[in-house]
A and B are shown apart, each in its own frame.
Chain A
Amino acid sequence: MTLTKDVLIIGGGISGITVAMELAQLGIHSAIVEKETSLGGLSASFCCKASESCNKCFACVVDKRISELSRYPEISVLTQTEVIGVKGEDGRYSVTLKKRKERFDLRASAIVIATGIDPFNASQKVEYGYGRYKNVITAKELDEMLRFKGLLSRPSDGRPPKTIAFFQCVGSRDESIGNLYCSQVCCAYALRLIKTIRHQYPEVEATFLYMDIQPAGTSFQEFLSSCREDKKIHLIRSLPSKVYHSPLSDKLRVRFIDPEKEEVVEASFDLIVLSVGMVLSKGTQSLTETFGLSLTEDGFIAPPSSHKGLFIAGACSGPKDIDRSILHSKSTAFVVHQFLRGRA
Chain B
Amino acid sequence: MPRIGILIDTLQGSVPASFQEKLSAYVKEFPEVIVCFKEDDLNSSDAISRINRYVESEGFDRVVILGGSPKDYEISFQKLKLSLPLNPYLFSVANIREQALWISSDEEMALERAKIIISKAIHTVNSTKPIPTQSLTLNPEVLILGGGLIGISIALDLAHAGIRVFIIEKEDRLGGKAQKVFKWLEEKIDEVEKNPKITVLTQARLKRVVGHLGRFEATIECPDRKEITLAASAMVVSTGYASYRERKGIYAHKRVVAIEEMEKIMAEASGPSLLKEGKKIEMVTYLLDEVNEDIKIDSISAIRQSLILQDLLGCQVAVLCKDIKVSSNGMERLYRRAREKGVLFFKYDDPPRLSIVDGQIEVDLKDTSPIQKKERWPVSILSDLVVIGESFGPIPEAEELSKVLKIHLGPRGYFMEDNPQLLRVRSNRKGIFIAGACRFPQEASEALIEARAVSQEIITLLSKGTYPYDLAVAEVDPKKCALCYTCPRLCPHSAITIEKYGDRNVYTTPMTNKEMKWGAAKVDPASCYGCGICVAECPAKAITLQHLTSEQIYAQMNLGE
Q: Name A's B-contacting residues (CB within 8 A).
A: 22, 25-27, 54, 56, 58, 60-61, 64, 70-71, 73, 173, 175, 180-182, 184-185, 187, 212-222, 224, 237, 257, 259, 262-264, 296-298, 318-319, 323-324, 326-328, 330-331, 333-335, 337-338, 341
Contact = CB atoms under 8 A, between A and B. Distances in A.
Q: Which 10 A-B pairs have the closest CB atoms?
A: A331-B452, A214-B327, A330-B453, A212-B323, A334-B456, A184-B327, A221-B294, A262-B373, A215-B294, A218-B440
Name the prevailing secondary structure of the B interface residues: loop
B446 A56 contact: no
A26 to B, nearest CB: 6
Contact of A331 (B75, B78, B442, B453): B453
5 contacts: A22-B456, A26-B459, A26-B460, A219-B410, A331-B452
Given A71-B75, A328-B449, A181 B456 contact: no
A218 B422 contact: no
Nearest to A71: B78
Contacts of A333: 456
Contacts of B328: 182, 184
Interface string B279-300: 0000000000000011110000
A257 to B, nearest CB: 6
Nearest to A337: B459
Given A324-B446, A326-B424, A264 B371 contact: yes
B133 interface: no
Contacts of A221: 293-294
B326 interface: yes
Interface range, B side: 35 or more
A263 to B, nearest CB: 6
Contacts of A330: 452-453, 456-457
Given A173-B326, A327-B450, A180 B294 contact: no
Contacts of B79: 70-71, 73
Contact of B333 (A60, A181, A218, A326): A181
Contact of B452 (A263, A296, A334): A334
A341 B161 contact: yes
B166 interface: no
B414 A334 contact: no
Nearest to B349: A259
Nearest to B329: A318
B420 interface: yes
Contacts of A181: 329-330, 332-333
Given A73-B81, A338-B160, A22 B421 contact: no
Contacts of A61: 421-422
A297 B336 CA distance: 14
A64 B326 CA distance: 32
A263 B371 contact: yes
Given A73-B81, A327-B453, A218 B420 contact: yes
B72 to A, nearest CB: 10
B455 A334 contact: yes
B160 A215 contact: no
Contact of A335 (B325, B336, B452): B452
Contact of A218 (B324, B371, B439, B453): B439
A164 to B, nearest CB: 22
B253 interface: no
A330 B294 CA distance: 25
Contacts of B373: 262-263
Given A218-B420, A221-B294, A237-B368, 19 more contacts: A56-B420, A70-B79, A71-B79, A180-B332, A181-B330, A182-B326, A212-B323, A214-B323, A215-B296, A215-B325, A221-B293, A298-B330, A323-B420, A331-B450, A331-B453, A334-B452, A334-B456, A335-B452, A338-B160
B436 to A, nearest CB: 12
Interface string B23-56: 0000000000000000000000000000000000
Nearest to B347: A237
Contact of A338 (B161, B333, B425, B460): B161
A196 to B, nearest CB: 16
Interface in B304-347: 323-333, 336, 347
Contacts of B326: 173, 182, 212, 214
Residue of B293, B336, B451, B460 contacting most chain A CB atoms (<10 Å): B460
Contacts of B459: 26, 334, 337
B446 A173 contact: no
Contacts of A25: 460
Contacts of B414: 218
A64 B422 contact: yes
Contacts of A212: 323-326, 347
B372 interface: yes
Nearest to B76: A70
Nearest to B373: A262
A59 to B, nearest CB: 9
Given A237-B347, A327-B453, A257 B294 contact: no
A327 B424 contact: yes
Contacts of B327: 182, 184-185, 187, 214-216
B422 A214 contact: no
A57 B456 CA distance: 23
A179 to B, nearest CB: 9
Interface string B345-382: 00101000000000000000000100111001000000
B421 A58 contact: yes
B157 interface: yes
Contacts of A173: 326, 332
Nearest to A179: B332
B544 interface: no
Given A70-B75, A217-B440, A263-B371, A22 B332 contact: no
A22 B460 contact: yes
Contact of B332 (A27, A182, A326, A328): A182
B325 A327 contact: no
B141 to A, nearest CB: 19
Residue of A54, A185, A237, A323 contacting most chain B CB atoms (<10 Å): A237
Nearest to B372: A263
A200 B258 CA distance: 45
Interface in B132-162: 157, 160-161
Contacts of A337: 161, 456, 459
Interface in B167-213: none
B186 to A, nearest CB: 23
A51 to B, nearest CB: 16
Nearest to A221: B294
A221 B410 CA distance: 14
Nearest to B337: A180
Contacts of B402: none
Given A215-B296, A326-B424, A331 B329 contact: no
Contacts of A26: 459-460, 463
Contacts of B332: 173, 180-182
Contacts of A264: 371
Residue of B326, B327, B424, B440 contacting most chain A CB atoms (<10 Å): B327
Contacts of B324: 212
B89 to A, nearest CB: 19
Contacts of A331: 449-453, 455-456
